[in-house]
Structure 1
Amino acid sequence: MSEQDNDNIEDLVEEISPDDVVEIIELDDNGVVVDAMDDVDIDDESDEEDMEGASGGEEIKDMAELVFDKHTDAVFSVSIDPQTCDLAVTGGQDDKAYVWKLSTGEVVFECTGHKDSVTCTGFSHDGVYVATADLSGLVIVWKVATKELVFTFECSDAEWMKWHPASHVLFLGTVDGDVWMWKIPSGDCKTLQSHGCTASCGVVLADGKRMCVGYDDGSIKLWDLKSGTVQHTVTGNLAHKSTVLSLDVNPLNNLIISGSTDVTAKVINGATAKVLATFDCSSPGAEENSVEAVGFSPTHAFAATGTVAGVLSIWDTNTQICRHRCPHDAGIVSLQWDKLSPLVYTSCLDGAVRLWNARNGELTSTWTGHKDSILGFDISKDGNWLVTVSEDKTARVFSLSSPDR
């Protein structure tokens, strides 16, 4: 990369089915035909079976306002346009990504060109661009208004993708440990160099000038985006003992929280990288466990952790005490705090999204409809819509303004 490329991006950061038919006949006590129903598709029975949940075969109530079913395999990723709050982008195992309308399910355009599972999708902060990335490391960016392809790049296998929260800069973490950073649409780039293991997750800090990256060896680094150098590293005994799976930052007090396969979460000072607390998120007797999701409340001094053993823990970040442990029927995949109140959403492997009150640890709402595990979700910026994606090959749109909410 040329010095000119570096200068450009530094300036930017600073600115910051079966067809069989059967006949069903009903007889009275004397064996006389009472009624007959012709042309009944035997798929009707299987459809009912499909609506049975993983928990004891109970029938699932489909609470979705709309079901997007254009994908032909598991759907991995979803993001909602922060500007219109009526566009979503989804990517799936069918090597497809679509931009579509929440209100109607209409496909606005297909993000073509992928030849592997599309695992990462996202709109830029202003909704001008939409980016998709697949497992092979192919990144494609489109201009939403014109449906024009404006950028494409291929690197090593992708782990995660993030947009900068205030500028048209896109980040991609890779299996080989590099974090790529591009200015869109020019393509000016910079690489945050690997130290030899996978860059498993990353998040831009509140100042917009630094990034926190978690790695497969349990270490965490704070990078200066202007210089592309490491400011601080959490390593050795202070680091996680295994892969860092999840990260979040608190814009109010510059704290970072990390979750790991070692079943702990760490609270870290975003200025010095000093580890302030280590939360034990383990569950006695759990055969398999890890901290899959973490997040800070934007309104209260709370943090949340979600584990594959199905436990949501609510932590007081001032006292470092666990306020509540909220058990789920299945493993937690992701979580997200409400922007206006101390409520936290969790999505689970049982196909449900739940809403918990962090003050008292009580379950306040549940949204169901999926026939298989939920793999991700997003909430519209206006707080009106919840969109989930699932192994069942669908995305579902739920209203958050309904009486159940």
Structure 2
Amino acid sequence: MADFEQEEGDLTIDPSEVIQVIELNDDGDGSGDPSNVNDDSGLSDEDADENEEMDTDEAAAGPVQDDSALTFLGHHNDAVICTEISPVNSHLVITGGQDDQALVWNSRDGSVMFQCTGHTDTVVSVGFSFDGSFVATADMKGMIKVWKVETGTEVWSFEVSDIEWLQWHQAAPVLLVGTKEGQVWMWKIPSGDCKTFVGYGPSALCGRILPDGKRAYVGYDDGAVKVWDLKSTEAVFTVSGHDGHKEPVFCMDHNNDGSLIMSGSGDMTVKIISTVNGKVVATLKCTESDGDEDSVETVGFCKTHEYVATGTLSGNLEIWNLPSKSVRHRCDHPYGIVKLRWSASSPILYTVCLDGCVRQFDGRNGQLMRMWQGHSAGILDFDIARDESFIVTASDDFTAKVFSLADAPR
């Protein structure tokens, strides 16, 4: 990646600087005219009216300030659905959107490195390989493409049924994908050698690979949780029925050594499961909203303390003490929590919310430490740079934003 290599220490983002707006021309080289960012030309009158109405509604409810260091508008007038930062070169970011493409761009200046084209539906999942040499893009219809980052060229593609998620192996060029039909696929990239973990009907809604690199855990639409052996493609164990969830599993995470996994469900419970014997060691009952539809949307193990966090559609963030299985703190959000992530080096927790804000909490006392504003619609995804110097967000307001963690508003 000679063309893109940067030193980690070079990243300096000053939120007081003017926000940079990057607009693509037809060639995708980042040299378009920024004055055309909000131009609705090319839309039908009906689409333009809908777009104008949405913009008006978002502006009325939007934040009064923009704390971001950079705003990326490469996806034009379409929502940005997903994002990830390279694990090797944090200056490289990929975003996927409703414009049926993904873009790899530089987090310092917003310049586009290359476009990931050829998709015919919304790009719903993206990800860099463990060494940053490949990046995968997957659309809603089931088309998966893998690109070589150094050259920006497509090296592999495959089509399955509707895709729910993808994840790279943490130590090998192996890609795992879960589908709406319940199949889980695994490929070696770029050879395309394939294995499948047979579905049984319900959608494979979420999944991850355990730290041992030998097993993966998957949550299903019927509430079941399965742990699969990657070599034999056999299920090691299944948690379902009386011990399992009663509604779909929407989110999962594992602890540092992979001895425990946790799953969050539409039944408003979180299951803590041993990967040694498949037993449910705890069931956490999350706080429900009054009368509104609710679900557990995001969960996470703290990396430094025996805490876990749960976030719900109604906006309840709860920090739990794992040994006692009790709630330490409840932290309200004004709207639904989309995703949470713990710091890798401290008991600090980050959340993104449907109100378009990023929040930072201290897991020890539950206090809101900082908040970043800037989006005029809900944030749909986010990622944290490995050195934790900045966050990248993807939003329904058609933008991705870079927020510096070094010079944050309080």
If the length of structure 2 is used for normalisation, what is the TM-score? 0.85
**Unaligned runs of at least 5 residues, structure 2:** 1-37, 41-52
Aligned partners of 1:65, 1:217: CA distance in 2, in Å?
Answer: 42
**Unaligned runs of at least 5 residues, structure 1:** 1-16, 20-45
Q: 1:351 matched to which residue of 2? A: 356
Aligned partners of 1:139, 1:240: CA distance in 2, in Å?
Answer: 30
Letter in 2 for 1:64: S
| Alignment equivalent of 1:166, drawn from 160, 167, 171 | 171
Q: 1:300 matched to which residue of 2? A: 305
The count of aligned residue pairs is: 361
2:135 corresponds to 1:134:
no
Aligned partners of 2:115, 2:279: CA distance in 1, in Å?
Answer: 45
Aligned partners of 2:103, 2:201: CA distance in 1, in Å?
Answer: 34
2:67 corresponds to 1:63:
yes
Q: 1:148 matched to which residue of 2? A: 153
Q: 2:233 matched to which residue of 1? A: 228
Aligned partners of 2:168, 2:89: CA distance in 1, in Å?
Answer: 17
| Alignment equivalent of 2:264, drawn from 256, 259, 263 | 259
Q: 1:35 matched to which residue of 2? A: none
Contact 1:206/1:254 (8 A) holds in 2? no
2:194 corresponds to 1:205:
no
Aligned partners of 1:300, 1:102: CA distance in 2, in Å?
Answer: 31
Structure 1 residue 144, shift from structure 2 partner: 0.2
Contact 1:163/1:171 (8 A) holds in 2? yes
Aligned partners of 1:369, 1:61: CA distance in 2, in Å?
Answer: 6
Structure 1 residue 272, shift from structure 2 partner: 1.1
Cα RMSD for the two superposed structures? 1.9
- Give the SS at the match of 1:378: strand
Letter in 1 for 2:201: G
Greater gyration radius:
1
Structure 1 residue 253, shift from structure 2 partner: 5.9
**What percent of counterpart residues are identical?**
50
Letter in 2 for 1:244: V
Provide closer, same or farther for how the CA distance between residues 356 and 185 of structure 1 changes in structure 2, counting only shifts above 3 A.
Answer: same
Contact 1:161/1:173 (8 A) holds in 2? yes
- Give the SS at the match of 1:329: coil
Contact 1:53/1:60 (8 A) holds in 2? no
- Give the SS at the match of 1:298: coil
Aligned partners of 2:257, 2:60: CA distance in 1, in Å?
Answer: 40
Provide closer, same or farther for how the CA distance between residues 262 and 177 of structure 1 changes in structure 2, counting only shifts above 3 A.
Answer: same
Structure 1 residue 52, shift from structure 2 partner: 4.0
CA deviation map 1:37-95 (0-9, x unaligned): xxxxxxxxx999677463xxx74210110000011301100000111100100001111
CA deviation map 1:115-170 (0-9, x unaligned): 00000001011101000000001000001001121110001010111111111110
Provide closer, same or farther for how the CA distance between residues 309 and 284 of structure 1 changes in structure 2, counting only shifts above 3 A.
Answer: closer
Contact 1:96/1:111 (8 A) holds in 2? yes
Letter in 2 for 1:61: Q
Letter in 2 for 1:111: C
Q: 1:178 matched to which residue of 2? A: 183
Aligned partners of 2:63, 2:58: CA distance in 1, in Å?
Answer: 6
Q: 2:375 matched to which residue of 1? A: 370
If the length of structure 1 is used for normalisation, what is the TM-score? 0.86
